[in-house]
């Protein structure tokens, strides 16, 4: 099978950024020989002459070019390019600009009647023409992020078997034991820098969706390209299909995974180990992002591999970072200091405990002892308040088991503990009831209410509920987006408190510096950068995160700070550029068509 090597891919990216000319590229690419796997199309003499002078002599031609989404321009191929590349007659005669194509896409999208139809339409575009897909997304991020990401991606995973059209990414099952490296090697690009991997057991707050969870790594990686400009060819989505315990999927003829119960224990661990080792072998140095693993595996896999390979867990560390960023911003409104806050979490899983750990690090930085800092974080899980005399606790929960009597419910816990902030990470909808929100507003002038569970259907409360029951005083953020709310004569813009503000920038920073490990300090730094990007005017309108249209700038700032830290921590393996920020900017993929003919 034809493969692009690391060096070739770097060159293509440099060519796209016009850092090398077509001739150099052609010289290097002459052995790529894409045509060897593609049917050569007939071309005219004039075409051949033009082609000889084309900037990219090694392009595939004809229908094969139209079917190559990274190179395809569709109706935007110029007449000269059509001649030179064997496309004459294969396209409608009118040549469109990228902007006109964007308008066509938007018009079509907006006439679809449901978000899932919009998702299917956009994914089909991603399959046809990557430049156009990323252009549309980048220019319309506020409108389209909810389609390619939460909440619609959740719906897409629920219906994955039904809406499935074309495969994307690598699927690994237990049948593949012993040949995982071979499967990874089947991906058509050799230069993979970022892998998002899931086993589909905790897809958002929707539970075990098995192999149908593939929508999540695909969506996360699209956001890497949109938000941090990671070139799409540098990333790889992976699903480890370890079975599913979801009875609906086990009986669904359209389910995309193997229909057996989840593999646990030794075999599961061996598959993970083989995957991790195979990545080191096939894509050495690639960053592995664990995504939407169930709690029972997420913490232990992170513990096992974080000091061995370049990896992080987005749900634990990425979420912690964005939540701490939100807290930093909220404190600018309340005027409080971090070390004097009391946090009460609804949910003591990956997101909740990960956030607690990062808050504790930040509070230690403000002078508290470890014990004092942990005393500021309280948790309420499915069995009640986490207190010392509970006998069912294990792992990180034990760090937060404080000396306190058990209480009947979350509302009672609020009345007794009087927290400044409640943070919903339970995956349970509507748990922040009007009574709870009223209690928070009674205790605090500006109560901090984060309802972070995804998708929207799992949110602990809506933005409107948060504002309504606190007289418009809540400082609110949610995992999935909510529309602005007019309340008490003001229009408030609720923020999306989502790890999308963090992982793309962290990934870019790691990639740019060649960091060999991902550290908690990187996530705390990212939190400070994101919070620092929030303007006073944003705070005035209720926003505690930067507006989404600024996410590229924000991710670039995160990436620069993370790379800087990698150099400071001695984890970087690439020579340090004089101007790190400019270097990172130069790496960022810009979805624009290249002229194939000079
Ligand atoms: N906004 C964002 O960027 C992110 C949001 N999330 C969202 O956070 C949610 C949780 O994710 P994650 O932490 O990984 O999941 P986990 O499964 O690790 O944790 C869920 C926690 O919720 C608790 N819980 C369940 N039911 C209740 C209940 N009725 N009352 C109180 N607590 C309850 C569980 O209790 P027990 O421990 O007793 O089982 C557990 O502690 C998901 O909806 C996810 O989408 C996650 C990552 C990022
Ligand atoms: C956002 C995210 O990572 C989650 O909800 O799992
Ligand atoms: Mg996740």
pLDDT digits (tens, 9 = 90+) for 102-137: 999 999 999 999 999 999 999 999 999 999 999 999
Ligand 3 centroid – CA 204 distance (Å):
6
Smallest-distance ligand from the CA of 352: 1
Report which of 187, 275, 196 is spatially closest to residue 233, judged by C-alpha positions: 187
Smallest-distance ligand from the CA of 345: 1
What is the DSSP pairing of strand 377-381 with strand 384-385?
A: antiparallel
488 pLDDT band, cuts 50/70/90, is: confident
447 pLDDT band, cuts 50/70/90, is: very high
Q: Is the CB of 204 under 6 A from ligand 1?
A: yes
What pLDDT does residue 59 have? 79
d(CA 559, CA 515): 12
Ligand 2 centroid – CA 550 distance (Å):
21
Higher pLDDT, 403 or 38: 403
Contacts of 330 by beta carbon, 8 Å cutoff, 6+ apart: 421, 446, 448, 475, 544
Ligand 1 centroid – CA 198 distance (Å):
17
Q: Is the CB of 150 under 6 A from ligand 1?
A: no
Q: Is the CB of 498 under 6 A from ligand 1?
A: yes
Pocket around ligand 2: residues whose beta carbon is below 6 Å from it? 150, 204, 292, 314-315, 454, 479, 498-499
**Is 292 labelled as part of a ligand binding site?**
yes
Residues that are catalytic: 149, 220
Nearest CA to ligand 2 atom 6: 204
Stretch 358-362: mean pLDDT:
98
What pLDDT does residue 598 have? 72
The ligand 2 atom at the shortest distance from the C-alpha of residue 220 is 3
Beta bridge partners of 478: 451, 496
Stretch 438-450: mean pLDDT:
98
- Choose the weakest-confidence range: 241-250, 467-476, 484-493: 484-493
What pLDDT does residue 597 have? 83
What pLDDT does residue 34 have? 37
Ligand 2 centroid – CA 444 distance (Å):
29
Q: For a ligand 2 pocket test, name from 221, 454, 545 the mutation site with the most ligand atoms within 8 angstroms of its C-beta.
A: 454
Smallest-distance ligand from the CA of 453: 1
Cβ neighbours of 512 (radius 10 Å): 24
d(CA 411, CA 432): 9
Structural element, H or E, at residue 312: strand 311-313
The ligand 2 atom at the shortest distance from the C-alpha of residue 499 is 1
14 pLDDT band, cuts 50/70/90, is: low
**Is 454 labelled as part of a ligand binding site?**
yes
* Lookup: tokens for 550: 């600024």
Structural element, H or E, at residue 462: none
Nearest CA to ligand 1 atom 6: 453
Q: Which fold does the domain 317-497 belong to in CATH?
A: Rossmann fold (3.40.50)
- What CATH class is the domain 101-309? alpha beta
533 pLDDT band, cuts 50/70/90, is: very high
What pLDDT does residue 30 have? 44
- Does residue 85 surpass a pLDDT of 60? yes
Ligand 1 centroid – CA 466 distance (Å):
19
Are 312 and 510 within 8 A, CB to CB? no
Stretch 158-174: mean pLDDT:
97
Cα dihedral: 501, 526, 204, 128 (round 10): 50
What pLDDT does residue 22 have? 57
What pLDDT does residue 53 have? 45
Q: Is the CB of 504 under 6 A from ligand 1?
A: no
The ligand 1 atom at the shortest distance from the C-alpha of residue 500 is 3
Are 471 and 488 within 8 A, CB to CB? yes
The ligand 2 atom at the shortest distance from the C-alpha of residue 452 is 5
- Choose the weakest-confidence range: 9-23, 73-87, 142-156, 385-399: 9-23
Cα 372 to Cα 399, 520, 544: the distances in Å are 11, 20, 27
Mean pLDDT taken over the chain:
93
What pLDDT does residue 44 have? 47
Stretch 458-476: mean pLDDT:
97
481 pLDDT band, cuts 50/70/90, is: very high
- For the segment 299-341, what is each residue's pLDDT rounded down to a tens digit? 999 999 999 999 999 999 999 999 999 999 999 999 999 999 9
Nearest CA to ligand 2 atom 4: 204
Stretch 153-176: mean pLDDT:
97
d(CA 363, CA 371): 11
Higher pLDDT, 45 or 166: 166
- For the segment 228-271, what is each residue's pLDDT rounded down to a tens digit? 999 999 999 999 999 999 999 999 999 999 999 999 999 999 99
473 pLDDT band, cuts 50/70/90, is: very high
**Is 498 labelled as part of a ligand binding site?**
yes
The ligand 1 atom at the shortest distance from the C-alpha of residue 454 is 45
Task: Indicate if 317-497 has the same CATH topology as 101-309.
Answer: yes
Ligand 3 centroid – CA 292 distance (Å):
5
* Lookup: tokens for 33: 């020989």
- The phi, psi pair for 54, rounded to 5°, reads -70, 155
Q: For a ligand 2 pocket test, name from 499, 504, 545 the mutation site with the most ligand atoms within 8 angstroms of its C-beta.
A: 499
Q: Is the CB of 425 under 6 A from ligand 1?
A: yes
Nearest CA to ligand 2 atom 3: 315
What pLDDT does residue 403 have? 96
Nearest CA to ligand 1 atom 47: 315
The ligand 1 atom at the shortest distance from the C-alpha of residue 150 is 45
d(CA 591, CA 140): 13
Smallest-distance ligand from the CA of 410: 1
- Does residue 25 surpass a pLDDT of 60? no
Higher pLDDT, 535 or 408: 535
Q: What is the per-residue burial (b if ≥16 Cβ within 10 Å, else e) of 525-551?
A: bbbbbbbebbeeebeeebbbbbbbebb
Report which of 420, 408, 340, 339 is spatially closest to residue 380, judged by C-alpha positions: 408
Nearest CA to ligand 1 atom 30: 382
Query: What ipTM does the predicted assembly reach?
Result: 0.99
9 pLDDT band, cuts 50/70/90, is: low
* Lookup: tokens for 547: 């507006």
213 pLDDT band, cuts 50/70/90, is: very high
**Is 9 labelled as part of a ligand binding site?**
no
Stretch 439-457: mean pLDDT:
98
What pLDDT does residue 13 have? 67
Smallest-distance ligand from the CA of 425: 1
1 pLDDT band, cuts 50/70/90, is: very low
What pLDDT does residue 212 have? 98
Stretch 151-165: mean pLDDT:
97
Are 238 and 172 within 8 A, CB to CB? yes
Q: Which bin fits 541, alpha (ψ -120 to 50), beta or left (φ > 0)? A: alpha
pTM value is 0.92
- Does residue 468 surpass a pLDDT of 50? yes
The domain ranges of the chain are: 6-84, 101-309, 317-497, 501-571
d(CA 586, CA 573): 18
What pLDDT does residue 255 have? 98
- For the segment 267-304, what is each residue's pLDDT rounded down to a tens digit? 999 999 999 999 999 999 999 999 999 999 999 999 99
Percent of the chain with pLDDT over 70: 90
């Amino acid at each position: 099978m034809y493969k692009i090597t690391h060096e070739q891919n770097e060159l293509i990216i440099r060519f796209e950024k016009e850092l090398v000319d077509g001739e150099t590229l052609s010289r290097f690419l002459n052995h790529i020989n894409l045509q060897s796997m593609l049917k050569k199309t007939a071309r005219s003499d004039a075409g051949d002459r033009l082609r000889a002078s084309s900037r990219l002599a090694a392009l595939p031609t004809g229908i094969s070019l139209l079917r190559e989404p990274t190179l395809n321009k569709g109706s935007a191929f110029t007449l000269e390019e059509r001649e030179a590349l064997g496309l004459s007659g294969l396209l409608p005669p009118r040549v469109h600009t990228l902007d006109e194509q964007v308008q066509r896409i938007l018009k079509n999208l907006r006439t679809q009647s449901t978000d899932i139809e919009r998702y299917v339409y956009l994914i089909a575009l991603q399959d046809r023409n990557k430049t156009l897909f990323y252009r549309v997304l980048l220019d319309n991020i506020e409108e389209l992020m909810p389609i390619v990401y939460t909440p619609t991606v959740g719906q897409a995973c629920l219906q994955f078997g039904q809406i499935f059209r074309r495969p994307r990414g690598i699927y690994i099952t237990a049948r593949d034991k012993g040949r995982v490296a071979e499967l990874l090697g089947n991906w058509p690009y050799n230069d993979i820098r970022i892998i998002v991997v899931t086993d589909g057991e905790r897809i958002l707050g929707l539970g075990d969706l098995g192999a149908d969870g593939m929508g999540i790594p695909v969506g996360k990686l699209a956001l890497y390209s949109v938000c941090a400009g990671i070139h799409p060819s540098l990333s790889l989505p992976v699903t480890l299909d370890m079975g599913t315990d979801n009875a609906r999927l086990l009986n669904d003829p359209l389910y995309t995974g193997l229909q057996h119960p989840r593999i646990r224990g030794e075999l599961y661990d061996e598959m993970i180990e083989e995957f991790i080792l195979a990545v080191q072998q096939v894509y050495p140095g690639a960053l592995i992002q664990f995504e939407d693993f169930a709690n029972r595996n997420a913490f232990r896999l992170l513990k096992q591999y974080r000091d061995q390979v370049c990896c992080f867990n987005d749900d634990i560390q990425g979420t912690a970072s964005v939540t701490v960023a939100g807290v930093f911003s909220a404190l600018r409104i309340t005027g409080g200091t971090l070390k004097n806050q009391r946090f009460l979490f609804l949910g003591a899983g990956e997101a909740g405990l990960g956030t607690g750990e990062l808050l504790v690090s930040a509070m230690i930085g403000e002078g508290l002892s470890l014990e004092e800092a942990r005393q500021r974080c309280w948790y309420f899980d499915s069995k009640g308040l986490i207190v010392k005399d509970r006998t069912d606790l294990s792992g990180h929960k034990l760090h937060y088991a404080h000396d306190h009597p058990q209480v009947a419910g979350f509302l009672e816990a609020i009345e007794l503990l009087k927290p400044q902030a409640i943070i919903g990470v339970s995956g349970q909808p509507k748990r922040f009831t009007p009574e709870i929100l009223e209690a928070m507003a009674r205790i605090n002038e500006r109560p901090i209410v984060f309802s972070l569970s995804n998708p929207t259907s799992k949110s602990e409360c809506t933005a409107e509920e948060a504002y309504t029951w606190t007289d418009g005083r809540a400082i609110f953020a949610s995992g999935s987006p909510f529309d602005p709310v007019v309340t008490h004569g003001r229009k408030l813009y609720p923020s999306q408190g989502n790890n999308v503000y963090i992982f793309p920038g962290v990934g870019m920073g790691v990639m740019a510096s060649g960091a060999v490990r991902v550290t908690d300090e990187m996530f705390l730094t990212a939190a400070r950068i994101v919070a620092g990007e929030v303007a006073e005017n944003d705070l005035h309108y209720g926003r505690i995160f930067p507006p989404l249209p600024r996410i590229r700038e924000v991710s670039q700032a995160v990436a620069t700070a993370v790379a800087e830290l990698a150099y400071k921590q001695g984890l970087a393996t690439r020579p340090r550029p004089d101007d790190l920020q400019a270097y990172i900017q130069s790496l960022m993929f810009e979805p624009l068509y290249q002229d194939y003919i000079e």
